[in-house]
Chain A
């Protein structure tokens, strides 16, 4: 149970990496979690599922830029 700060940082990096390497076409569309599958609810409440999809999409977009900078 003895967590250290370092293990938290490790876990965070691994999680972000996992989200970043998700392939949208192969997996998310099959489950029905592709972002273009969510009909834009312009009214109120986007709902949890749409929020989660948007979150994954935005993390992937940010990571794409940072990965390019890192590898260069």
Chain B
């Protein structure tokens, strides 16, 4: 009975269709497809005018299931969107995703310039981060702004190159990759914590956030990778030479970047401002910058034999 009802309902379709849209042959073919599935008859007109194949899949046993399934779908989708809002809100409390997005707003030109700056910072003159109404400008528009893309990629590349180096010395096993990764990560976290602690002790009023410090600490991976690759390709003397060059470069880079953020205005411009506080801050800047080459050597020397 249902089938005859549907067929009669569908047979009413072509005349209605011809009145509404004369040139719609694809819809005509869809009509024939729909008749292969059992559907409630009187609702067929409503369904096909919506041209929605999504409800055609329901094996409509009763005529009442049609509005109910629409209702259920609407309710389900609203539940899903509510759930997603809740997850987003809670996640945002722990990991500031919007702030993280700023650090990843980079483009190719910025990455190229920054890598060049990390290896050769001696010609760059203006190290100030430009601001735009109290918020720092995104890294895409300012070479001096810290970003997290280079440190992240550098960290991953360092682990891969370390695996490569171990493999060429036939010391490789997959667990060692994990060991290298966690070890480097631990050193990174310890360095960031020590820097945070020392900044707190010296009571520096600075706008350096933790993520900024993480970014600065991650910049040394670029130098490490250069040194490791040179050591792999050309042997130990090349490793030492390139590491020396990159250490000096990172030292200068860190001092010039941190000087503007940690020291007071006058001292940052190069004038010697006497006073115990400024001296302490200068020592702190130099200590942070000097720690970078030490870490670079410590994390790579056991990989080049």
Contact = CB atoms under 8 A, between A and B. Distances in A.
Contact of B200 (A4, A8, A55): A55
A55 B186 CA distance: 23
A18 B200 CA distance: 20
B157 to A, nearest CB: 20
A72 interface: no
B179 interface: yes
B266 interface: no
A3 B302 CA distance: 14
B202 A3 contact: no
A2 B185 CA distance: 11
A1 interface: yes
Given A8-B189, A8-B190, 11 more contacts: A1-B183, A1-B302, A4-B179, A4-B183, A5-B182, A5-B186, A45-B277, A48-B201, A48-B280, A51-B201, A52-B201
Contact of B182 (A3, A48, A55): A3
**Most chain B CB within a 10 A radius of its CB, from A3, A4, A51, A52:** A3
A71 interface: no
A7 interface: yes
Interface string A43-63: 011101001100100000000
A48 B186 CA distance: 27
A56 B277 CA distance: 22
B203 interface: yes
Nearest to B183: A3
A2 B190 CA distance: 14
A48 B200 CA distance: 9
Given A8-B186, A45-B203, A55-B200, A2 B277 contact: no
A4 B302 contact: no
B202 A2 contact: no
Nearest to A49: B201
Contacts of B190: 8
Interface in B173-223: 179, 182-183, 185-187, 189-190, 200-203
A3 B203 contact: no
Interface in A1-60: 1-5, 7-8, 44-46, 48, 51-52, 55
B45 to A, nearest CB: 63
B155 to A, nearest CB: 14
A64 to B, nearest CB: 21
Interface string B5-23: 0000000000000000000
Nearest to B277: A45
A46 B203 contact: yes
